[in-house]
Amino acid sequence: MSLEYSKAKNETPTCKWNNIYLHSSYNPDQEAKRFTETLSPNFIPSNIIIIEPALSYCIPYLREKFSGSKIYAIRLIKDIKNEFKCDGEFLISDIEKIDNLESELFNYFGETELLNSFFITWPPAHNAFAEEDSRIWLMLKKLLKDCQSILATRQFFAERWIKNQINFLTRIEKTASINKTPLPVLICASGASLNASLSYIKKLQQRFFIISCSSSIKALFSNDIIPDLCISTDGGFWAKKHLNCLTKYQNEIKLAVSSESNIPSDLFSQNNITIVPLAYCDNYDSTIYEQLKIPYEKAKRNGTISGTALELAMNISSGNIYLCGIDLETSNGFVHTQPNELETENSIKDNKIFSKDKRTFIQGRDSKQLSLYRNWFINNSDRFGSRVFRVSCKHRFINKLGQIKDINFDDLIKMESDKVKNTADFFKKTVVLKSDKKTILSLIKNLINDDQWIKNYYPADCLMIDRSQDTNVKAEYKKKLDIKLSKLTEYISRQEKQ
């Protein structure tokens, strides 16, 4: 495998890969110009992403033809001599690394920008790298399909999230923010491996700052383990079921939630519960919190609550972080450690035709969501690996989480001191709020006129408007979006009158 540079007939640089020319041996510049002239996407792309391994002669012509687009290259060869620079590069020097490219592209662009990108292959690249090019296109097809699904989900739940925000901001009474701590953090999710770990956690709970993801709260409470912080980030209907158990306990509970989270309304007025508001960097929570003088913690939106919990733990602690019950794999029995609120709900519907065994078998199969969540941990593990560990009671995990090391509790005990925590040091002074409903609703109503806010909550509609080349089609999409925004404004106006 070798890259060989030479001069074309017109004295400009060209090159070959294993004796296959990657650019013309006569006039590479003219070849690139003709190729660019053949490109005719049926939408206005914000990004051009080209699979192009070498000298990039087409980049200036792409910039000329698509003046409003950024140009990116997927490279297939290391250490090339670029004649022209693009806005960013993604290197795939090994065919086995193509799966990593999927997460690199998603993490860099996000679903909206990927769906507004135009992908092309430089024709000689397909001749020289036929297998790699074919596999990349199969990966892109899957990635874009996943992006469509994510975007549809975001749009479907947009109005639910906005209504959750209104409920949150108008009902929140008692809040707190978190002090930085040198203590290690133990994050508990409800994977099947948590069950065997509960006795260890109970014994060691005074030595860790314990964060409980919402689905594990009931299992911890049932074993007399009181987490220092519970976290819930899901805006869906079923998410708040996991929080129902909080109404039955009298212990002091700190609950970290985003304003989009679906929360039982009676929790806000419960004396033993203090809310720790989370503000995502991709929406307007921080703006609203600051105007209302509500203390908050910065958070990163993630497909899985355990990912958001891990990012939060990295911010609040300088110590090691241990993941428990974050299995992200199939199971022959219950997917979640019991007791679990959703299992209690689902078991009511069990019958002879659709039995508990059949239901748990279906739930225990690997899914696209599990794979996506698992890949997020794997692809970000180089950021976390040095101080993040997955801990269990000698559980044999099917899948590794990249550079995140799997350890047992015996290893954990050796790694950490036996210093007992002081819970009072974890949180800043509690702030009691007097929510001004009229002010809050006015703030949200004003945001409805903000273009970036609209793109955040109605991404699919905005994408179709941005992509449309036909002015009549663009106007039709704009009209549909205006109707949705008008209905939302009417809903807020009704809330103002109540």
* Strand, helix or coil for residue 335: coil
Q: Does residue 137 sit in the same domain as residue 195?
A: no
Residue 168 lies in a domain: no
Contact status, residue 310 vs residue 473, Cβ threshold 8 Å: no
First to last CA, the chain: 73
Q: Does residue 409 sit in the same domain as residue 460?
A: no
Q: Give the pairing of strands 185-188 and 174-175.
A: unpaired
Residue 313 lies in a domain: yes
Phi and psi, residue 354, nearest 5°: -120, 85
Phi and psi, residue 285, nearest 5°: -55, -45
* Measured distance CA(26)–CA(449) in Å, rounded: 55
Q: Does residue 211 sit in the same domain as residue 308?
A: yes
> Domain boundary residue among 401, 432, 463?
432
The two tokens of residue 424 are 């009072």
Q: Does residue 285 sit in the same domain as residue 388?
A: yes
- At a CB cut-off of 8 Å and minimum separation 6, what does 399 contact? 328, 329, 374
In which residue ranges of the chain is pLDDT below 70? 1, 83, 94-96, 237, 282-283, 330-336, 338-368, 424
Q: Does residue 329 sit in the same domain as residue 447?
A: no
Residue 202 CB coordination number (10 Å): 12
Residue 215 CB coordination number (10 Å): 28
Contact status, residue 139 vs residue 66, Cβ threshold 8 Å: no
Count of domains observed in the chain = 3
Residue 192 lies in a domain: yes
- For residue 361, the model assigns a pLDDT of 38
> Domain boundary residue among 149, 164, 195?
149
User: Which structural domain range is residue 485 located in?
Assistant: 441-497
Q: Does residue 312 sit in the same domain as residue 413?
A: yes
> Domain boundary residue among 410, 432, 454?
432
Contact status, residue 113 vs residue 46, Cβ threshold 8 Å: yes
Q: Does residue 116 sit in the same domain as residue 194?
A: no
Q: Does residue 327 sit in the same domain as residue 414?
A: yes
* Measured distance CA(491)–CA(432) in Å, rounded: 28
Here the CATH number for the domain that contains residue 37 is: 3.40.50
Q: Does residue 380 sit in the same domain as residue 478?
A: no
Q: Does residue 413 sit in the same domain as residue 367?
A: yes
**Residue 264 exposure: Cα atoms within 13 Å on the Cβ side:** 17
Residue 376 CB coordination number (10 Å): 22
Residue 158 lies in a domain: no
- For residue 335, the model assigns a pLDDT of 61
* Measured distance CA(210)–CA(219) in Å, rounded: 14
- For residue 353, the model assigns a pLDDT of 47
Residue 161 lies in a domain: no
Q: Does residue 206 sit in the same domain as residue 338?
A: yes
* Measured distance CA(364)–CA(349) in Å, rounded: 18
Q: Does residue 60 sit in the same domain as residue 134?
A: yes
Cα 225 to Cα 211, 240, 305, distances in angstroms: 11, 20, 20
